[in-house]
A and B are shown apart, each in its own frame.
Chain A
């Protein structure tokens, strides 16, 4: 990173900060309206169910945010959940203790992520193609492991803890660890050099590499982390539904990507905030929960989700286009050079910026 960027650790691109706030406000509004309009939505019991429902999406969205900001994608996360779930079932049926199985499942997830990472970085293959491949491969392996059986007799203590609440109240036991992870990922992305590298490579990885960012290595570890988190979700999913099945979490990757995009992360990389993604996840899942309670049919749910996603992509771009129009008339025509400037770049300011002749 250049020294100049280092002095501006937490500056968000202005346009995005706008969308960010919009998603958060929209989420708050949804929660408020749903609490008022839908019986049972605002109850503590529903809050418990809602949190248990959104936990897997939120957890998977954390590393997904970092990966998408870095300009890549990981579509194999849900299959990794399924495969680690199948592995758990297989080991449990084989008489292993859960204390051993849980770390093994997370480790297995990390290995599966590392395989993605190797193909993307070491072989330089496009991540979309790689992870669509491993989406099928890992799901297939899950079926090879468990086939058409389901393992269901997990230790009651563990399954009860997973769906239980702190001190018998309404806040699920899983909230503290999840909050810890959310804060951790937010800090990494927004307050560390690693996070700034991720933004830089997402904006332009060639430039980032020239500036000394270890692009390949960072991307590799992002995939490892993504896999490990998916392994953790595999554990959660298996214990929450107290059943290990090869088809667990099937199709969840799209919900995760939808939530990340809804949260204002640019699919082209280089832009996004974790706060927006958390809001996106809450918005998507609470909306589904509220509509379900309001007895809206499942098909309408998918229509609403799709519409919301289109809007989330459309609106910021529309706003940007509208904002850019008067400016284009005022500024001398400059050659638009590819994607948006990296977020670390200072915004155009009236006072002259330092020019020391060095270009990144």
Chain B
């Protein structure tokens, strides 16, 4: 075979032709189907009407849960609960979301779900405002938006299912901390992202309580660190806190990712058993640390029940049983009857405490 030196000037034209073809194809594809909100959803009563407390839960509703990020055991537990209720209501269910806890990546998922004409979106928001316009579009297309765990601005959703009363969380966390350090010393907070709505509200409430409550006069909050709900960063931030504040008596981590990473650091360092760690964690991830004494007691609501309540609330709105106005009531199966509070907030109940005595009774 003789070596031919091939000259391919037509290549450039090939590229340009291909691109032109691509643009043409895309335009053709886009011209094909236009679904601008003309979805056939006769099984859903129109939203915004008055509530009918005696209505039945509609069946065949499509639900989607959109957590702050996937691969988070807390949200997986919520998803289990929601999935079970959706199954009982004969609906369809999916669990979808970004792998990083950022507002911008969640927005693409909100758009995808509203395009797919999902009836009910159960959302835990990474940012109170970034999703608003997308949620408005979704609601214009008859999608019911229920936030749970972390809220958006009230006008951008139908109802918010709060895991707990914010004051109760900060109160419980401070009680636990004070008990474990004998009511005096320096404490620090290891939070999630710097913009996490709920974490920031709890930290503010804790600061206010520390300043006002004479029982906590000898406790000083010296630092707030952010582990961004990333295991490795939370681990490093814990290390940083302990190095920067040698007199630290306790770390409070109001996030399940943070408390587990902090416990792992404490377990492997000389601070284990010396510095108290409490906060919000799941029994499954904290079991070994409670067993070996790294952690004495921590708190959380049951995320599975939170998911169940969110699913019920979404079904109630989509079925016209409630609209999200204050004072409306609905029955959430075995969870009992709930009343909508101000700003469309539905509260699950007080947090549960977990310690060596009761931790083995829980599996989430």
B39-69 near A? 1/0 per residue, CB < 8 Å: 0000000000000000000000000000000
Contact of B127 among A35, A150, A329 (CB under 8 A): A150
**Chain A interface residue count: which class?**
35 or more
Residues of B within 8 A of A282 (CB): 22
Contact of B100 among A143, A251, A330, A348 (CB under 8 A): A251
A3 within 8 A of B: no
With A241-B107, A302-B99, A327-B3 known to touch, is A293 a contact of B35 (CB < 8 Å)? no
B246 within 8 A of A: no
Q: In the bound complex, what is the Cα–Cα distance between A297 and B2 (angstroms)?
A: 51
A247 within 8 A of B: yes
Chain A residue nearest to B5 (CB atoms) is: A348
Contact of A241 among B11, B104, B112 (CB under 8 A): B104
A275 contacts B194, C-beta separation under 8 Å = no
With A148-B194, A298-B98 known to touch, is A12 a contact of B21 (CB < 8 Å)? no
CB distance from B254 to the nearest CB of A (A): 14
A14 contacts B7, C-beta separation under 8 Å = yes
Among residues 78 to 101 in chain B, which have CB atoms less than 8 Å away from a CB atom of chain A? Answer: 94, 96-100
A42 contacts B30, C-beta separation under 8 Å = yes
Among residues 27 to 81 in chain A, which have CB atoms less than 8 Å away from a CB atom of chain B? Answer: 27-28, 31-32, 35, 39-47, 49, 53
Q: In the bound complex, what is the Cα–Cα distance between A327 and B6 (angstroms)?
A: 11
Chain B residue nearest to A159 (CB atoms) is: B133
B15 contacts A293, C-beta separation under 8 Å = no
A32 contacts B25, C-beta separation under 8 Å = yes
A12 contacts B26, C-beta separation under 8 Å = no
Main DSSP-derived SS at the A contact region:
helix
Most chain A CB neighbours (cut-off 10 Å) among B97, B100, B104, B108: B104
Residues of A within 8 A of B200 (CB): 148
Q: In the bound complex, what is the Cα–Cα distance between A331 and B26 (angstroms)?
A: 45
**Chain B interface residue count: which class?**
35 or more
Residues of B within 8 A of A133 (CB): none
A25 within 8 A of B: yes
B301 within 8 A of A: no
With A24-B15, A326-B1 known to touch, is A292 a contact of B22 (CB < 8 Å)? no
B12-35 near A? 1/0 per residue, CB < 8 Å: 101110110110011001111111
B70 within 8 A of A: yes
Residues of A within 8 A of B6 (CB): 14
Chain B residue nearest to A17 (CB atoms) is: B11
B30 contacts A243, C-beta separation under 8 Å = no
B226 contacts A12, C-beta separation under 8 Å = no
Contact of A298 among B14, B32, B70, B129 (CB under 8 A): B70
B203-243 near A? 1/0 per residue, CB < 8 Å: 00000000000000000000000100000000000000000
Q: In the bound complex, what is the Cα–Cα distance between A49 and B97 (angstroms)?
A: 17
B325 within 8 A of A: no
B271 within 8 A of A: no
B180 within 8 A of A: no
With A21-B11, A242-B129, A327-B3 known to touch, is A292 a contact of B112 (CB < 8 Å)? yes
With A24-B22, A247-B194, A292-B108 known to touch, is A148 a contact of B116 (CB < 8 Å)? no
CB distance from B67 to the nearest CB of A (A): 11
B36 within 8 A of A: yes
Residues of B within 8 A of A21 (CB): 11, 14-15, 18
CB distance from B46 to the nearest CB of A (A): 21
With A14-B11, A292-B112, A295-B96 known to touch, is A150 a contact of B195 (CB < 8 Å)? yes
B71 within 8 A of A: yes
Residues of A within 8 A of B193 (CB): 247
Residues of A within 8 A of B112 (CB): 40, 289, 292-293
Q: In the bound complex, what is the Cα–Cα distance between A44 and B108 (angstroms)?
A: 15
**What are 22 of the A-B contact pairs (CB < 8 Å)?**
A12-B11, A17-B14, A21-B11, A21-B15, A25-B18, A28-B22, A44-B30, A147-B194, A149-B195, A152-B130, A159-B133, A160-B133, A241-B129, A245-B103, A245-B130, A276-B15, A279-B22, A282-B22, A289-B112, A298-B98, A326-B3, A350-B5
A sample of 16 more A-B contacts (CB under 8 A), given A21-B15, A148-B194, is A12-B12, A31-B29, A40-B35, A44-B36, A45-B36, A147-B194, A160-B133, A242-B133, A243-B103, A245-B103, A247-B193, A248-B104, A275-B15, A292-B96, A301-B99, A348-B5
Chain A residues in contact with chain B, CB under 8 A? 10, 12, 14, 17-18, 20-21, 24-25, 27-28, 31-32, 35, 39-47, 49, 53, 143, 147-150, 152, 159-160, 163, 170, 237, 241-243, 245-251, 273, 275-276, 278-279, 282, 289, 292-293, 295, 297-299, 301-302, 326-327, 329-331, 347-350
5 smallest beta-carbon distances between A and B, as pairs = A148-B194, A17-B11, A330-B3, A152-B129, A28-B22
